[in-house]
Amino acid sequence: MKIEIIKGDITKIKIDAIVNAANTSLLGGGGVDGAIHKAGGKVILEDCRKIRNRQGGCKTGEAVITTAGNLDAKYVIHTVGPVWNNGSNKEEVLLKNCYKNTLELAEKKQIKTIAFPNISTGIYKFPKQLAAKIAIDTVKKYAKVETVIFVCFDEENYTIYKELVNGIIENMFIGFSLADALGVPVEFKTRTELKNNPVNDMMSFGTYNQPAGTWSDDSSLSFCLADSLCNGYDLKDMAQKFVAWKNAEIWTPYGRVFDIGNQTRSAIFLLNDILEKQDYKSLELLKYNDDEFTNGNGSLMRILPLLFYIKGKSVKEQFKIIWEVSALTHPHIRSALACLIYLKFAEFISNGLSLIKAYNEMKIVINSFFKENNFAKKEVQLFDRLLKNNIQELKEEEIQSEGYVIYTLEASFWCLLTTDSYLNAVFKAINLGEDTDTTACVVGGISGMFYGLEEVPKGWIAKLARLDDIKELSHKFSKKNRK
């Protein structure tokens, strides 16, 4: 499912079904209700009268369906929102029912596209922020249509809906850094060790002797990339931030670097040399380094913020950008292709698709992209388990969790597609063993975007290193990269 937010007149939308914020009489009224009846003509009113004669109108929270008359739609689904009374009359439940019952009717009629107004936020005085959250959460949970459009009549509602949808960025930032921090204490522990003592809580110390809530280089470099993208797309600025992080100047949890991969370390030394020589053109040429032994998971672990810069571009253009950014530390095409697959999946998630739908759509797009381009057969075949099969059907013993980029990519998809919540996905990733923080981080960013973080104990999030800085960066990033 894809979610769109637009500002405009719902009566002018070309779509399968328009939702009307009706009253219990179904005979028309003011606001959206009056506008839909006026634009749709007498046919809608006649259908509504037939429903009244049959069942006596429509109760609050329920929904009925009619033809669309003169509107550029097949149907109008009429639902009656609650009048706000300070939350004392189950208004939240009733509003949720409006969306749920409307979506059930849409499913029965095999409706593929549907447009909602901002139900109950006009003369019924339902708080707009709360109403928008209920609308978005209910649609994500129950919609089985292809596209949902929230049509906002006023600027305030439009801004609220946009901010809520873009709230996935904060969930993404906290999602990957929290998952990273949950995995840090047991990095390098084997799967057997973790089966005997599985991780299911926030821990302290362990492998790196760090306090609870400490994230590693995975999150540090993701924050560096996001911080750089707030200034626009600039490889030089990205390189400068990676070097500054290694020198413990920016985006460490507590003022020092305690974890860095060998390939990342040597790559940042090279970046520093390029910057000192001011040979900035060389940054664009790093991707031509064809050493296949540079395919650790160090670019995959930090690539997710790039999604919001490349979103909406052609796959060819996306891949060009992804390869340049990946190549700052991991130049081989294999790492870049892994990042492309991951970000294309994340793009479908950000558009409101379910995990399995996003996975299937990603496979179609990427397999087509591979056919259209002359990539080495050897490289393409490495992704067959993910792209030509259903990764979620593999058994745990077939999933590897060391630091090789293909292993991390496969393990991450497997964890996401075989669980049903943020914490279940993250802990499943950690308990695979070995590169626990990175697999968890790669899982946690998308899992945070998709599920949100409401199930996470608030005390865990409160312990996250530099939480205020993470939130501030997410808000800054959201404003710059909102699409």
Instruction: Tell me the per-residue pLDDT of 341-365, one tens digit each, with 9 for 90 and over.
Output: 999 999 988 877 789 989 999 999 9
Which member of 33, 180, 217, 227 is catalytic? 33
Provide the 3-class DSSP secondary structure of residue 150: strand
The predicted pLDDT at position 483 comes to 45
Residues in the chain with pLDDT values less than 50 = 483
Question: Which among 475, 483, 41 has a CA at the least distance from the CA of 227?
Answer: 475
Structure tokens at 440: 């968890």
Structure tokens at 26: 């179904």
Task: Give residues with Cβ within 8 angstroms of 398, minimum separation 6.
Answer: none
The predicted pLDDT at position 481 comes to 67
The predicted pLDDT at position 321 comes to 97
**Domain residue ranges of the chain, discontinuous segments joined by +:** 2-165, 168-481
What's the CATH fold of domain 2-165?
Answer: Leucine Aminopeptidase, subunit E; domain 1 (3.40.220)
Is 33 labeled as catalytic in the residue annotation? yes
The predicted pLDDT at position 336 comes to 97
| Terminal-to-terminal C-alpha distance of the chain | 17
CATH dotted code for 168-481: 1.10.4080.10
Q: Please, where are the H alpha helices in 377-417?
A: 377-381, 384-387, 405-417
Cβ atoms 106, 77 nearer than 8 A: yes
